[in-house]
Amino acid sequence: HTLFMLCHRCSKNNILLSWLEEYALLVSAVCHDIGHLGVTNDYLVQTSSELAICYNDTSPLENMHCARLFEIVTAENSAIFSMLSKAQYKEARNICIEAILH
């Protein structure tokens, strides 16, 4: 819902997003909590979880969500970015990372 409102308000105010930005934001919105463990980042850090250690206590859940997203979308049977050029893929990846981590 939030993404829809953002896109709607952008178009209403003549702030145009490219198709690639919209696509990457939609993918990010769908996947932003993929594999969520049902605990907080603070809990993971306080318990010295494997994820907290892997991501140096910095947003372990968000980093995991992002990594999991790209594990899935780079698999042959779910390569939803395969139609993109290398430059487009890099831009889409950066958008997804920014959207999920921030």
33 is known to lie in a ligand binding site = yes
**What are the E-state strand segments in the chain?**
none
Cα distances (Å, whole numbers) of residue 98 to 22, 24, 35, 43, 56: 14, 10, 18, 23, 18
Contact 73, 27 (CB under 8 A): yes
Do the annotations mark residue 36 as ligand-binding?
no
Q: Which residues are annotated as a binding site for Zn(2+)?
A: 32-33
Instruction: Output the known binding site.
Output: 32-33
